[in-house]
Structure 1
Amino acid sequence: MNLKNLLFAVITVFTLHTASAQTTPPSADEVIKEAMKEAKAQKKKVFIKFSASWCGWCHKMDASMNEPDMKPLFDKSFVMRQLIVMESKGKENLENPGAADLMKKYNSEGFGIPLWFIFDADGKLLVDSHLRPEGVGMEVKGKNIIGCPASKDEVDAFVRALKLTTKLTDIELAKIFARFRQNDPTYKAPVVNKAK
């Protein structure tokens, strides 16, 4: 074998190895099955959030939920998982296969992200992030979604969803409300008068 053929063989093997090392993210079904199994073992619910690398509101929601005083509140109630959808051109390889189909399955096609669902450990959808008039069931598609809660209406709906699906106390829910209202750039936190 001459040097030219040897070099070609080495480059081919390296290229094939590199290509196979770029793994496909787990499918939405795999992510959800694993989360349901964990939730069942820990007696929790499953919080699935749809996200993308370019989505600023998705990152804002992640940051809000992962703050040191917020993370324990979500972790004690949920197995948290993220599914990647709607990636920008050239980054489609980051998407979880089947995640867009899951959005369609739960009547959420055509909405932006972040979009989120809360399931019980058996896979029953308990709450979604659609904004609907009070008393309207999940079989009716909302006119919009909560996304990353920021406005008063969005945060109210988010806290209602948490109240329905967790054992968080009123004080804990109030902390979540206060934190997520800070995501609204027009929000002015109430001034607390400490002088008596």
Structure 2
Amino acid sequence: MKKNFLLIAGFFFLNFTIQAQSTVPAANVVLKKAVTDAGNQNKKVLLIFHASWCGWCHRMDAALNDEVCKKLFDDNFIIEHITVMESKGKENLENAGGKEMMEKYNGKDMGLPYWVVLDKDAKLLYDSQEKVTMADGTVKGQNIGCPATEKEVEKFIAILKKTTSLTASQLAIIAKRFRQNESK
């Protein structure tokens, strides 16, 4: 009896584990749903590439979901996450095709979080890169990730200004909240 119980329990555990590992949707599935929802709701897509180990990713999510500005983002964006660059042993959390999607949206060799603003057709409007002119005259993108410094927050607010109908006072609320990320 005990042997049968352990066999049945083991079967259910294995089945649950397999189902849990296969529930992470592919990146293209996440994106397709996001752009469909954005089109239906007249919003933009804020697509965030992140990983479970990334402290700045958690700060970004905390700021986006803070009660002072959550509604402002929810009213203007469909926010989705694509999990990439997971640590060894947690690769099962990644969205298949996420790395390639990040590269497609100019995120190759960028740190996390890396985010993009897309229109309802998945066209890239803005990304989280600050363009910097190097000494040799070439322009290189540096990821601002989770906006925290004054310069990073200014860049983020400038993008929000161009992609939303947020008022100056609403943008100020968002800027104030994201500036708190620098001191945490």
Alignment TM-score, normalising by the size of structure 2: 0.88
1:19-34 to structure 2, matched below 5 A, reads 19-24=17-22, 25-34=24-33
1:68-79 to structure 2, matched below 5 A, reads 68-79=67-78
1:86-101 to structure 2, matched below 5 A, reads 86-101=85-100
Determine the C-alpha separation between the residues in 2 that align with 1:63 and 1:31: 21
Identical-pair percentage = 44
2:57 aligns with 58
- The answer on whether the counterparts of 2:132 and 2:139 sit within 8 Å (CA) in structure 1 is no
Determine the C-alpha separation between the residues in 1 that align with 2:149 and 2:117: 21
Determine the C-alpha separation between the residues in 2 that align with 1:89 and 1:166: 38
1:114-143 CA distances to partner (integer Å, 9 max, x unpaired)?
A: 100000111111000001159xxxxx9743
SS in 1 for 2:48: strand
- Return 5+ residue gaps in structure 1 as ranges: 135-139, 187-196
- The answer on whether the counterparts of 1:130 and 1:141 sit within 8 Å (CA) in structure 2 is no
Alignment TM-score, normalising by the size of structure 1: 0.83
1:128-171 CA distances to partner (integer Å, 9 max, x unpaired)?
A: 0001159xxxxx97431110101111001100111111011111
Determine the C-alpha separation between the residues in 1 that align with 2:160 and 2:44: 11
- Which has more strand, going by share of residues? 2
TM-aligned CA deviation for residue 20 of structure 1: 2.8
1:1-196 to structure 2, matched below 5 A, reads 10=8, 13-14=11-12, 16-24=14-22, 25-133=24-132, 142-185=140-183
Determine the C-alpha separation between the residues in 2 that align with 1:83 and 1:51: 6
- The answer on whether the counterparts of 2:38 and 2:44 sit within 8 Å (CA) in structure 1 is yes
SS in 1 for 2:162: helix
SS in 2 for 1:30: helix
- The answer on whether the counterparts of 1:130 and 1:145 sit within 8 Å (CA) in structure 2 is yes
Q: 1:180 to 1:126 in 2, by over 3 A?
A: same
Determine the C-alpha separation between the residues in 2 that align with 1:101 and 1:66: 27
SS in 2 for 1:54: coil
- The answer on whether the counterparts of 2:132 and 2:142 sit within 8 Å (CA) in structure 1 is no
- Which has more helix, going by share of residues? 2
Corresponding letter in the other structure for 1:148: C
